[in-house]
Structure 1
Amino acid sequence: MSSIILSGVTLESLLLQIEQLLDAKIGMQHQTQKTEVSGYLSRKEVANLLKITLPTLHDYTKQGKLQAYKIGTRVLYKECEVKASLEGISSRKHKKGGVYHG
């Protein structure tokens, strides 16, 4: 095994650099784990996104308005499906008297 001799570097400085590298590596691992499930939202995230309560979200899921996915005890929703489930409402222009003139 070969030896490495460091000059001009204190032990504290070396330990600090090693600690920073380890923190960065751990941070990258957490980021990788988050991206593995990216595209999925938790029940709470979906409720916040749609500005509804969790019981309402449960009702929408039971009614088939939203598709849920379960892994273990976690219930997740695909973000693209949640956004696609939103229905657009066409706006109508009305003149005086309330008569619609398309």
Structure 2
Amino acid sequence: MENIILTSINLQSLELIIQKSVTAAMAVSKPETITNETEQTFSIQELANYLGVTKPTIHAYKKRGIFKYYQTGRTVFFKKSEVDAALAIGKTKG
């Protein structure tokens, strides 16, 4: 970090410096945020269709902890990446 000595600075210059710093900091962290927001999720019915099983089967898998799930109120959803990872682990186990 550079050592900068300021003898005087007006409000507009200070605002500009802060704005540039915040914009640069946000640009660094933005790609990770976009990745998380666009992750595909499944409802119980969508996951049943994806796996070719029935809704009661998905409920049984959920109860047994085979797939990690998220719940908001009464809405349950599964992340596709986590479902695919659980399926890959299941294939390697036998």
Which residue of structure 2 lines up, in the alignment, with residue 49 of structure 1? Answer: 50
Which residue of structure 1 lines up, in the alignment, with residue 86 of structure 2? Answer: 85
Greater Cα radius of gyration, structure 1 or 2: 1
SS at match of 2:91: coil
The normalised TM-score by structure 1 is 0.48
In structure 2, the CA distance between the partners of 1:40 and 1:68, relative to structure 1 (3 Å rule), is: same
Q: Which ranges in structure 2 are unaligned for 5 or more consecutive residues?
A: 1-35
CA distance in 2, matches of 1:69, 1:47: 16
CA distance in 1, matches of 2:37, 2:66: 26
CA distance in 2, matches of 1:72, 1:46: 19
CA distance in 2, matches of 1:77, 1:51: 15
Alpha-carbon shift at residue 39 of structure 1 (Å): 2.1
Q: 5 Å matches for 1:1-102?
A: 36=37, 38-86=39-87, 87-88=90-91
Q: CA RMSD in A?
A: 2.5
Higher relative contact order (CA 8 A, sep 6+): 2
CA distance in 1, matches of 2:62, 2:39: 21
Percent sequence identity over matched residues?
38
Name the aligned partner's letter for residue 72 of structure 1: G
Q: Hey, which of these two has a bigger chunk of helix by percent? A: 2
Name the aligned partner's letter for residue 45 of structure 2: K
Alpha-carbon shift at residue 43 of structure 1 (Å): 0.8
| Aligned residues between the structures | 57
Q: Which ranges in structure 1 are unaligned for 5 or more consecutive residues?
A: 1-34, 91-102
CA distance in 1, matches of 2:38, 2:61: 23
Alpha-carbon shift at residue 89 of structure 1 (Å): 5.7
